[in-house]
């Protein structure tokens, strides 16, 4: 039906197809084309800076979004970092307390001799290295909970620190006590 209507319209208006439009029609058509061309140029002139601004704003927004997302992920990882088991925390507390008590006793009984001070300084350096090793093991353990080899290495590291302080205590404080007794 729609096609038949179109064909009928073409047949009825066939006489107008051969007629030339009036000069007024051409002038109006040219004015309309010029107007459309000017408005297109204006759009391009204004759209270029707007496009730049929009691109910069979109880039800045994207960078801001990525930074916020990365920062929140980093904070979540820090907060969600697994802790040592309760048993290992007790072991750590026990050996740390023993080591700290021995260090206090060592500091009290060490005389001001340069030999003792050198020995004490080297002991502190050894203890710092042991602490660093223990810290590394603790970090690994917090992510690999239940790993018996790591747990044993961690406990042995804590024990080694305690043993070093005991040895130094025996070496420095027992000798100082014996020297005091003999006088």
Final residue in a domain of this structure, among 53, 80, 107: 80
Indicate if 46 and 118 belong to the same structural domain: no
Mean pLDDT of 139-150: 84
Residue 55 has pLDDT above 50, yes or no: yes
The answer to whether residue 23 scores a pLDDT higher than 90 is no
Q: How many CB atoms lie within 10 A of CB 154?
A: 22
Q: Is residue 134 predicted with pLDDT exceeding 50?
A: yes
> Tell me, what's the pLDDT at 156?
92
Structural domain of residue 72, as residue ranges? 25-80
pLDDT band at 163 (very low <50, low <70, confident <90, very high): very high
140: pLDDT strictly greater than 70? yes
- Does 17 or 152 have the greater pLDDT score? 152
CA distances from 118 to 42, 114, 134 (A): 84, 6, 24
What percent of the chain is modeled with pLDDT above 70?
A: 84
Residue 183: predicted pLDDT: 44
Whether residue 75 is found in the same domain as residue 129: no
Query: Tell me, what's the pLDDT at 75?
Result: 73
Q: Outline where 80-113 has alpha helix (H).
A: 86-109
Mean pLDDT of the chain: 80
Answer yes or no: are the C-beta atoms of 86 and 151 closer than 8 Å: no
Q: What's 147's DSSP letter?
A: -
**Gap between the Cα atoms of 61 and 44, Å rounded:** 25
CA distance 27 to 18: 20
Q: Are 161 and 134 in contact (CB under 8 A)?
A: yes
Asked whether the predicted pLDDT for residue 177 surpasses 70, the reply is no
Q: Are 84 and 92 in contact (CB under 8 A)?
A: yes
Q: For the chain, how big is the Rg over CA atoms in Å?
A: 44
**Residue 174 C-beta-side C-alpha neighbours within 13 Å:** 7
The C-alpha atoms of residue 57 and residue 92 are separated, in whole angstroms, by 53
Evaluate whether residue 125 is within a structural domain.
yes
- Arithmetic mean of pLDDT, 145-155: 87
Average pLDDT over residues 28-46: 76
Higher pLDDT, 178 or 59: 59
Q: Are residues 104 and 31 in the same domain?
A: no
| Residues whose CB falls within 8 Å of the CB of residue 98, separated by 6 or more in sequence, listed in order | 162, 165
Q: Which residues, 6 or more positions from 119, have their beta carbon under 8 angstroms from its beta carbon?
A: 168, 171, 172
- Do residues 54 and 101 share a domain? no
Q: What is the pLDDT of residue 139?
A: 87
CA angle 38, 43, 49 (to 5 degrees): 135
Whether 87 maps to a domain, the answer reads yes
In a domain, residue 5? The reply is: no
Same domain, 120 and 159: yes
Read off the pLDDT band of 181 (50, 70, 90): very low
pLDDT in tens, 82-106: 577 888 889 889 999 999 998 888 8
**Quick one: which of 171, 170, 156 has its CA closest to 95?**
156
Domains in the chain: how many in total? 2
pLDDT at residue 175 greater than cutoff 80: no
Domain assignment present for 91: yes
pTM for the model stands at 0.50
């Amino acid at each position: 039906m729609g096609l038949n209507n179109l064909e009928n319209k073409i047949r009825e208006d066939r006489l107008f197809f051969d007629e030339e439009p009036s000069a007024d029609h051409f002038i109006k058509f040219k004015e309309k084309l010029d107007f459309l061309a000017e408005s297109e140029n204006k759009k391009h002139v204004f759209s270029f800076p707007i496009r730049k601004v929009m691109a910069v704003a979109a880039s800045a927004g994207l960078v801001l979004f990525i930074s916020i997302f990365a920062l929140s992920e980093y904070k979540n990882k820090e907060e969600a970092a697994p802790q040592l088991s309760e048993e290992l925390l007790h072991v750590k507390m026990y050996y740390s307390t023993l080591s700290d008590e021995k260090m206090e006793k060592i500091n009290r009984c060490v005389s001001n001799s340069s030999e003792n001070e050198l020995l004490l300084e080297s002991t502190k350096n050894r203890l710092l290295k042991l602490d660093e090793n223990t810290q590394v093991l603790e970090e690994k353990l917090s992510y690999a909970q239940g790993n018996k080899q790591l747990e044993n290495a961690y406990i042995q590291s804590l024990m080694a620190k305690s043993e070093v302080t005991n040895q130094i205590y025996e070496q420095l404080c027992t000798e100082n006590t014996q020297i005091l007794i003999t006088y």
